[in-house]
């Protein structure tokens, strides 16, 4: 397994394209030092734990979990350096960094060790929720500890009978003075129990006695592992799941109320838990999208190293010559460039969403918030699907060695898959995009993105040369296809037809949005090359990668704009027992 080197030049390029300097939220001369320090932690402290995390995993003894070798020391280093509270207010011990920067940090943590990075990611959701809806007393008790990483947070929704259908949950909450007593069971709880910190604040969905059925009767509670007086609360891990990947992340089955009830405190108002849950969920969805990017980047680095080291077969243009490094073979180069192009497109789109989030949070920009809402399901689903595809290509480049665990390529493939499932499966993200995001404004936010994309494509045409013309033409065609698909879905009254088209529409949106971002990158690269600014080799690689994306990766998805219109015809043609 190769080590991880954060691609700082690519990250800084993406931050600049996202418009971070123009936001005025951070001194520009501080961006590079922050990234460099984070990169040291990622590469030197967190990344070395990745292999041991996969091999040894977390262990449950009684109701206590011991994390994999190196995890505890790595978390302590992260926490003591102040990285846990990077995007949060200094009033509670955070650094107050822009979310765009935080996305870059999350990318590095996730690429270094995806299983490890889940713990601080979930704590962020708890911090945001308590900041928004917690009482002054709850904030005084929990916020600083969570923000600084002295405590961590977990998100507890799923039950054996209530997965994506959260409204079916049965965990019960009974009022008892100033608090509630919880009883029930939760499953698939990431970092529900661990030894990284002394305390965990579990954010738990439960139903108060007498509440309405379904999602309208769900409330949100903060349930500490350790009570304010130092005693252990009535909540414990009863088992750890045996998973396909992310073995270093303890995924627990949690039991509440075995000894009479776990004490918990209501967040906000009763029966508004679903509303509050989405604060945690949307924060996590963008973070999970970054994990798709992380797995692509890790697969790229490992496959690139292997392709430059492995010697096998002759060059196709020199059949009598000596065997060459496999990177000389066109198909290997195609796969490597595919991973690279997708990783760059994912990074640019995620950071673009991060900049919009900063505008919404710090400047109260409603249009920016609409952009964040629109892109959240796309960043989550499109990026995580691509994370699996890129990790699979990484295995393929290794050939038989990729299928053997000792190289580490298989781990990235196994780790990547879960990101398509948790925080709302990618099918749920597609439904969210077409029913909630398109439906609520009749496609206005989507059309605003399309209009902006066409302006970027038009600006690219002003550059001389074949590269600009080719990229602009393909991206413009993609935007036309996306516009037609958007118009169709907005005008469609058959909900089943829309549901059948949802996954194709999300894939089309992601692919075209990635093309827009790559066109923007090409525009910047051409400007730099024309003005002889910076590293010409770096900018030329950006230009070539953008053209590869536009010519090779974008066109195959455009027919989705047509096929999604007839998706229901065959998808629903067979009965439930005929498939």
Given the candidates 2.60.120.620, 2.130.10.10, 3.40.50.620, 2.40.110.10, the CATH classification of the domain at 153-270 is 2.40.110.10
pLDDT at 464: 86
Q: Is residue 281 scored above 90 in pLDDT? A: no
Smallest Cα–Cα separation from 412: which of 17, 6, 51? 51
With the CA atoms of 534, 536, 538 and 541 taken in that order, what torsion angle do they form, in degrees rounded to the nearest 10? 150
Mean pLDDT of the chain: 96
Q: Is residue 2 scored above 90 in pLDDT? A: no
Would you list the DSSP string of 363-385? H--HHHHHHHHHHHHHHHHHHHH
pLDDT at 107: 98
Please write the tens of the pLDDT for every residue from 30-87: 999 999 999 999 999 999 999 999 999 999 999 899 999 999 999 999 999 999 999 9
Phi and psi angles of residue 254, each rounded to the nearest 5 degrees, phi first: -110, 135
Q: Is residue 283 scored above 80 in pLDDT? A: no
Q: Is residue 206 scored above 70 in pLDDT? A: yes
Catalytic, out of 159, 423, 469, 577: 423
pLDDT at 48: 97
Is 327 in contact with 336 (CB distance < 8 Å)?
yes
For residue 162, what pLDDT band results from cuts at 50, 70 and 90? Answer: confident
What mean pLDDT is predicted for residues 536-559?
A: 98
Q: Is residue 282 scored above 90 in pLDDT? A: no
pLDDT at 166: 79
pLDDT at 327: 97
Please write the tens of the pLDDT for every residue from 289-319: 999 999 999 999 999 999 999 999 999 999 9
Residue 204 three-state SS:
strand
Residues of the chain above pLDDT 90, percent: 94
pLDDT at 1: 62
pLDDT at 374: 97
Q: How far apart are CA 211 and CA 200, in angstroms?
A: 27
Is 515 in contact with 442 (CB distance < 8 Å)?
no
Residue 416 three-state SS:
helix
Residue 65 three-state SS:
strand
Q: How far apart are CA 248 and CA 49, in angstroms?
A: 9
What is the domain partition of the chain in residue ranges?
Answer: 8-147, 153-270, 439-571
Please, what is the Cα angle at 283 between 281 and 284, to 5 degrees? 65
pLDDT at 428: 96
What mean pLDDT is predicted for residues 278-289?
A: 87
Please write the tens of the pLDDT for every residue from 428-447: 999 999 999 999 999 999 99
CATH 3.40.50.10490 fits 8-147, yes or no: no
Is 116 in contact with 53 (CB distance < 8 Å)?
yes
pLDDT at 409: 97
Is 164 in contact with 425 (CB distance < 8 Å)?
yes
The total of other beta-carbon atoms located within 10 Å of residue 28's CB is 11
Please write the tens of the pLDDT for every residue from 77-94: 999 999 999 999 999 999
In this prediction the pTM is 0.97
For residue 180, what pLDDT band results from cuts at 50, 70 and 90? Answer: very high
Q: Is residue 168 scored above 90 in pLDDT? A: no
Q: Is 405 a catalytic residue?
A: no
Specify the DSSP element, H or E, that contains 291: helix 273-309
């Amino acid at each position: 397994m190769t080590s991880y080197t954060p691609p700082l030049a690519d990250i800084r390029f993406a931050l600049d394209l996202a418009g971070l300097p123009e936001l005025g939220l951070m001194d520009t001369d501080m961006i590079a030092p922050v990234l460099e320090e984070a990169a040291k932690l990622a590469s030197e402290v967190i990344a070395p734990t990745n292999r041991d995390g996969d091999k040894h995993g977390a262990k449950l003894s009684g109701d206590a979990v011991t994390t994999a070798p190196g995890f505890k020391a790595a978390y302590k280093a992260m926490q003591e350096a102040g990285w846990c509270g990077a995007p949060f207010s200094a009033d509670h011990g955070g650094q107050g960094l822009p979310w765009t920067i935080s996305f870059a940090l999350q990318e590095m943590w996730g690429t270094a060790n995806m299983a490890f990075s889940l713990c601080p990611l979930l704590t962020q959701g708890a911090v945001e929720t308590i900041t928004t809806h917690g009482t002054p007393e709850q904030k005084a008790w929990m916020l600083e500890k969570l923000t600084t990483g002295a405590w961590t947070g977990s998100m507890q929704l799923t039950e054996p009978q209530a997965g994506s259908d959260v409204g079916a949950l049965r965990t019960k909450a009974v009022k008892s003075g100033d608090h509630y007593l919880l009883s029930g069971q939760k499953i698939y709880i990431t970092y529900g129990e661990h030894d990284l910190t002394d305390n965990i604040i579990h954010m738990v969905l439960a139903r108060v006695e007498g509440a309405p059925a379904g999602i309208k009767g769900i409330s949100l509670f903060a349930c500490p592992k350790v009570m304010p007086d130092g005693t252990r609360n009535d909540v414990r891990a009863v088992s750890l799941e045996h998973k396909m990947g992310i073995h270093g992340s303890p995924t627990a089955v949690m039991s509440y109320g075995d000894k009479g009830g776990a004490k918990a405190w209501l967040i906000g108002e009763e029966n508004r838990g679903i509303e509050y849950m989405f604060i945690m969920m949307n924060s996590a969805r963008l973070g999970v999208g970054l994990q798709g990017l992380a797995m692509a980047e890790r697969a790229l680095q490992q496959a690139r190293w292997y392709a430059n080291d492995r010697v096998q077969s002759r060059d196709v243009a020199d059949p009598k010559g000596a065997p060459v490094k496999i990177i000389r073979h066109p198909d290997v180069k195609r796969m490597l460039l595919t991973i690279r192009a997708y990783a760059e497109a994912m990074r640019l789109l995620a950071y673009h969403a991060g900049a919009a989030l900063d505008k919404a949070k710090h400047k109260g920009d409603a249009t920016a918030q609409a952009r964040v809402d629109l892109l959240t399901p796309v960043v989550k689903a499109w990026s995580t699907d691509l994370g699996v595809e890129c990790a699979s290509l990484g295995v393929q480049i290794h050939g038989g060695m990729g299928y053997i665990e000792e190289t580490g390529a298989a781990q990235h493939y196994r780790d990547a898959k879960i990101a398509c499932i948790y925080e709302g499966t990618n099918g749920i993200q597609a439904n969210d995009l077409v029913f909630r995001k398109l439906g609520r404004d009749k496609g206005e936010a989507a059309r605003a993105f399309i209009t902006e994309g066409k302006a970027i494509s038009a600006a690219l045409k002003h550059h001389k040369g074949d590269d600009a013309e080719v990229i602009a033409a393909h991206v413009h065609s993609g935007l036309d296809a996306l516009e037609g698909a958007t118009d169709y879905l907005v005008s469609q009254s058959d909900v089943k037809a829309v549901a059948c088209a949802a996954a194709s529409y999300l894939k089309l949106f992601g692919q075209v949005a990635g093309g827009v971002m790559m066109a923007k990158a090409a525009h910047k690269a051409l400007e730099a090359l024309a003005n002889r600014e910076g590293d010409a080799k770096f900018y030329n690689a950006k230009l070539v990668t953008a053209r590869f994306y536009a010519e090779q990766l974008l066109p195959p998805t455009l027919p989705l704009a047509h096929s999604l219109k007839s998706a229901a015809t065959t998808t629903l043609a067979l009965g439930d027992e005929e498939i």
